[in-house]
């Protein structure tokens, strides 16, 4: 059957993270691997009540086919929250409900990317974006991340040498690095893209999970209709709901709606009603504050454990929010070799290579701090530190 498959299937990378999650199914394994919210904070009872309220209502349209754009009251809620929280001029008509923000990436790829079109991604890049866009066979142009965001000089060089279709960025608490773009870097980025006919994809699933610092401006407020903004309920309510959204100007939105109609007609209308009912009946800001407080403690514990147990030569990011931090090992250490030893010690993480399209990342690793309690973080980091020191001594 191998001659029956589309050629593009050979260009799509497997999700390394999904592959190694099999390892982490063992409850004895301390996992820093998955990009998982902490299930302790899923609002189970509140969602149960919201579900009952929706199904007990007289409106049977919750179980019927619905509009592609999504449930209007939910879209109005999202738009109003952008106006209230971020002062963004976004209307409900500029919002499309999707099956998680991952589907948003696929729809963007479907609308904008053709074979051999050039796409700028961060280095390291979000693995889900690499996978989603790879289906459409682009030529990736990775540009390194610095401590405050993308390397603007290298970005200018890429834009000067090539015709770029779009640029994808996880601008707040980037996955995998945990880096957030500074206000200065966002302003410089806007100046660059004002001079180039390309779309900026502002992928922001973690933006509400800030536990330190002040939130800079959204790229939407700086570039307006040149930006496609992605959001999600996965990190603030629950990922199993599979509800996210795309914000885009009217012209782009028309194309995205057609692309979504070809994919699935519309996202789960029952779940949309349940989420809306939950939002109307509960204080979501208080819920998010609970998550933020816990994640900050877990980040602080992981940072303290790394400082205590990792070799002094190891460097790492100190994110102001989100779910991840990024570790750079000494050159003589391989993250993949470390992973092989760590699994035997019942600890898992993600080696850096899958987040690069050019083979880099050999001595990098991503650690997730959101889905472990504090004791397991201390113990897992202690084991990793011991393995690192043994490998360095042997080398």
In this structure, are 150 and 180 located in the same domain?
Answer: yes
In this structure, are 147 and 31 located in the same domain?
Answer: no
- Taking phi over 0 as left and psi of -120 to 50 as alpha, with beta for the rest, 70 belongs to left
In this structure, are 250 and 342 located in the same domain?
Answer: no
In this structure, are 110 and 25 located in the same domain?
Answer: no
Tokens representing residue 362 in the block = 């050999």
pLDDT in tens, 121-174: 999 999 999 999 999 999 999 999 999 999 999 999 999 999 999 999 999 999
In this structure, are 221 and 341 located in the same domain?
Answer: no
Q: Which of 281, 309, 333 is the last residue of a domain?
A: 281
> What's the pLDDT score for residue 25?
72
- Rounded CA gap, 241 and 233, in Å? 8
Q: Which of 281, 315, 339 is the last residue of a domain?
A: 281
pTM of the model: 0.93
> What's the pLDDT score for residue 275?
97
In this structure, are 224 and 336 located in the same domain?
Answer: no
In this structure, are 26 and 62 located in the same domain?
Answer: no
The parent domain of residue 155 ranges over: 45-281
In this structure, are 290 and 356 located in the same domain?
Answer: yes
Cβ proximity of 259 and 98 under 8 Å: no
> What's the pLDDT score for residue 35?
84
* DSSP per-residue string spanning 227-284: EEEEEESTTTT-GGG--EEEE--HHHHHHHHHHHHHHHSSS-HHHHHHHHHHHHHS-H
In this structure, are 272 and 348 located in the same domain?
Answer: no
> What's the pLDDT score for residue 109?
97
In this structure, are 263 and 129 located in the same domain?
Answer: yes
- Rounded CA gap, 218 and 231, in Å? 12
Residue in 103, 97, 44 with CA at minimum distance from that of residue 73: 97
> What's the pLDDT score for residue 23?
67
Question: Locate tokens 């800001």: which residue?
Answer: 285
Length of the chain: 395
> What's the pLDDT score for residue 63?
86
pLDDT in tens, 174-202: 999 999 999 999 999 999 999 998 999 99
CATH number at residue 262: 3.40.640.10
Mean pLDDT by 10 residues, the chain (395 residues): 67 63 77 90 96 84 88 97 95 96 96 96 96 95 97 97 96 96 97 94 97 94 94 95 96 96 91 96 97 97 97 96 97 93 93 93 96 94 96 80
CATH number at residue 20: 3.90.1150.10
Q: Strand pairing partners for 247?
A: 95, 229
In this structure, are 39 and 52 located in the same domain?
Answer: no
- Please state the domain count of the chain: 2
In this structure, are 89 and 172 located in the same domain?
Answer: yes
Q: Strand pairing partners for 98?
A: 244
> What's the pLDDT score for residue 282?
97
> What's the pLDDT score for residue 395?
61
Q: Which of 256, 281, 306 is the last residue of a domain?
A: 281
């Amino acid at each position: 059957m191998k001659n029956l498959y589309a050629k593009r299937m050979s260009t799509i990378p497997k999700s390394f993270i999904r592959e190694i999650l099999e390892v982490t199914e063992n409850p004895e394994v301390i996992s820093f691997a998955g990009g998982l919210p902490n299930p302790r904070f899923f609002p189970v009872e509140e969602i149960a009540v919201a579900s009952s309220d929706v199904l007990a209502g007289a409106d049977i349209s919750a179980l019927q086919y619905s509009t592609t754009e999504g449930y209007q009251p939910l879209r109005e809620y999202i738009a109003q929250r952008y106006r209230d929280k971020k002062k963004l001029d976004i209307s409900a008509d500029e919002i499309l409900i999707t099956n998680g923000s991952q589907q948003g990436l696929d729809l963007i790829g479907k609308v904008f990317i053709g074979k051999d079109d050039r796409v700028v991604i961060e280095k390291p890049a979000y693995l889900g974006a690499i996978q989603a866009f790879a289906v459409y066979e682009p030529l990736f142009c990775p540009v390194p991340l610095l401590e405050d965001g993308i390397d603007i000089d290298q970005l200018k060089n890429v834009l000067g040498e090539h015709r770029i279709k779009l640029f994808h960025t996880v601008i707040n608490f980037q996955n995998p690095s945990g880096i957030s773009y500074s206000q200065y870097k966002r302003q410089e980025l806007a100046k660059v893209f004002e001079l180039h006919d390309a779309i900026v994809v502002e992928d922001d699933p973690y933006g509400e999970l800030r536990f330190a610092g002040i939130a800079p401006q959204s790229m939407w407020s700086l570039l307006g209709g040149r930006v496609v903004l992605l959001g999600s309920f996965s990190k603030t309510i629950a990922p199993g709901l599979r509800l996210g959204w795309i914000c885009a100007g009217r012209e782009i939105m028309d194309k995205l709606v057609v692309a979504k109609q070809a994919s699935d007609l519309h996202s789960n209308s029952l779940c949309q009603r349940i989420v809306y009912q939950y939002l109307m009946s509960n204080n979501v800001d208080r819920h998010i504050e609970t998550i933020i407080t816990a994640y900050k403690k877990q980040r602080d514990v992981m940072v303290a454990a790394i400082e205590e147990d990792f070799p002094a030569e190891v460097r790492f990011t100190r994110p102001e929010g989100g779910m991840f931090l990024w570790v750079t090992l000494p050159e003589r250490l391989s993250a993949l070799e470390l992973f092989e030893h760590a699994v035997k010690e019942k600890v898992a993480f993600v080696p850096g290579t899958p987040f690069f399209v050019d083979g880099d990342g050999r001595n990098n690793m991503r650690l997730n701090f959101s889905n472990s309690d504090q004791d397991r973080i201390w113990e897992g980091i202690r084991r990793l530190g011991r393995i690192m020191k043994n490998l360095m001594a042997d080398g």
